[in-house]
Copies of this chain bind each other. A is one copy, B any other.
Amino acid sequence: MDVSSEARGRRGRRGGRGEAEPAPAQRPQPRLPFAPVPAVSEDELEAIHAASLTVLEEIGMDFLHAGARQILREAGAEVSPDSERVRFPRELVEKQIGLAPRQFTLHARNPARNVTIGGDAVAFCSVASAPNVADREGGRRPGNRADYQNLIRLGHSLDAVHVWGGYPVEPADIHPSVRHLDALFDLLTLSDKPIHAYSLGRQRNLDAIELTRIARGVDDATLEVEPSLFTIVNSSSPLRLDAPMLEGVIQMAKRNQVTVLTPFTLAGAMAPVTIAGAVAQQNAEALAGLVLAQTVRPGSPFVYGGFTSNVDMKSGAPAFGTPEYMKACLLGGQLARRYGLPYRSSNANAANTLDAQAAYESVFSLWGAIMGGVNLLMHGAGWMEGGLHASFEKMVLDADLLGMVAEFLRPVGVTPEDLALDAMREVGPGGHFFGCAHTQARYRNAFFAPMISDWRNYETWREAGSPTAYDTANRLYRAKLDRYEAPPIDPSTLEELEAFVARRKAEGGVPTDF
């Protein structure tokens, strides 16, 4: 638990079983080498856009925050004084489109880990916000700070993970009044990748912004031109945004930090049962958030979030990585591009254990997200069970999947050397390429080397105990934790972070009534 000592560089935290080693250099962000795949025609896309504008103009949304309603009223929205309903004239929405940047840099405390959000760049986030955590030995258990810290250590060690998408698991054993202080301190010291902060009230947003500013060692003015944290704002679908979320949009936009507005539109439950209908509603809710953010501060960074999936109509249980999810991924990307906004999607699945289902739902999710042109992939590594638990093993396995996706996105080289005519001349019909000069010069790095895929022949694999991918992921996550080393931090920065947390704790953090 002594994160500060660890951050100061004392090694051997876990008994010295493993040789500590720094986290690998960040793997470069993948760039999409092809145009994203559209789900519908241009006319159909306009029909969805028009339906969303009709929803916003005619039905409107409930904004459970008087300040937000006031801002929107002044901007031209129709808000009756005795209601939470806000109706958005079409022109009000249309004129906010195009103000937010198509791409921006999200800054990390370690500049080598800055990421580009938007354009053709793809950034992979960790799992976030799971209430439970699991590994094979410990089973599934409620979130706690020890597991929270270990997930950060593990994620920091995985070079395919670019960004912290939130708390990988909720450290529920820290009192909510001070949880954000300890949790953000851990995130900013055990890792040096860019971070997310939850919108759970104004003071928590402000504390997060200040902790990030200190960790980065910059002044307020610099932070304001260098977005350095993002917040996920979920609407309470259908057509409602609650007070803490709206406060988050306002506070983040004011400081030019990033809002990712992600409606939680499960088709058949919180949204229409049709994909077009659910996405039209998603789109309405996302655009409403855009209007607020751009009214507060025109040009503030804003990401279009898609999370539309379907439910199991027999039980009402949410499903992910389904064909409907994939179609919604493509469609969400198409809408985001129509508005010139970076696009957020997720690596999701609804499996209870790390079996074939967990893998196929995850890869189907990645397929939809990537071909849909995702820029910010949430829950990239470690998400299980529809988000109800974070898995140590899945985090490693997902990092391998993300590495494979990144390699898939690396363009095929077609130079004369790549075409290898000389190698074919050398080897000739019936020969073998293992030994030829062309192969010898390249074989070490020719192909992506996965961590987990077991390609041994059947007999050798059986003699090794018939390990499954789950077994291998379990072994690897433990080895990676053993070798974890905290990233360097300037001692004065660490002291300043500690002092801020101590002061805010002494003030009571954000007092709760329990």
Known: A313-B447, A418-B277. A62 touches B434 (CB 8 A): no
Chain A interface residue count, CB cutoff 8 Å, equals 123
Q: Which residues of B contact A54 (CB under 8 A)?
A: 421
Beta-carbon contact of B358 and A48 below 8 Å: no
User: Does A514 count as interface, using CB distance less than 8 angstroms?
Assistant: no
Q: Which of B85, B356, B455 contacts A312 (CB 8 A)?
A: B455
Q: Separation in Å of the A48 CB from the closest CB of chain B?
A: 7
Q: How far is the CB of A432 from chain B (nearest CB, A)?
A: 7
A268 with B439: CB separation less than 8 A: yes
Known interface pairs A356-B358, A363-B363; A273-B51 also in contact (CB < 8 Å)? no
Number of copies of this protein chain within its complex: 2
Give complex CA distance A359, B468 in Å: 12
**For chain A residues 455-500, which have a beta carbon within 8 Å of chain B?**
455-458, 461-462, 466, 468-470, 473
Q: Are B434 and A316 neighbours in the complex by a CB distance under 8 Å? A: yes
Known contacts A352-B458, A357-B454, A424-B55; A269/B446 CB under 8 A: no
Asked if B356 and A444 make an inter-chain contact with CB atoms under 8 angstroms apart, the answer reads no
Q: How far is the CA of A324 from the CA of B360 in the complex (A)?
A: 19
Contact A429 B363 (CB under 8 A): no
Pick from A11-19, A91-99, A108-116, A232-240 the stretch touching chain B.
A232-240
Spot the interface stretch: A38-46, A142-150, A166-174. A38-46
Contacts of A425 in B (CB 8 A): 58-59
Known: A323-B408, A360-B363. A272 touches B350 (CB 8 A): no
- For A466, the chain B residues whose CB sits under 8 A away are 352-353
* A-to-B contact residues, CB < 8 Å: 34, 37-40, 44, 47-48, 51, 54-55, 58-62, 85, 140, 236, 238-240, 267-278, 280-281, 310-313, 315-319, 322-324, 326-327, 331, 350-364, 367-368, 371, 385, 388-389, 397, 401, 404-405, 407-408, 410-415, 417-421, 423-425, 427-434, 438-439, 442-444, 446-448, 450, 452-458, 461-462, 466, 468-470, 473
Given pairs A55-B424, A278-B420, A326-B408, 20 additional interface contacts (CB within 8 A): A34-B37, A47-B419, A59-B424, A239-B430, A268-B439, A271-B433, A272-B420, A273-B423, A273-B442, A274-B418, A274-B420, A277-B419, A310-B446, A313-B443, A316-B434, A322-B447, A323-B408, A354-B356, A358-B359, A363-B367
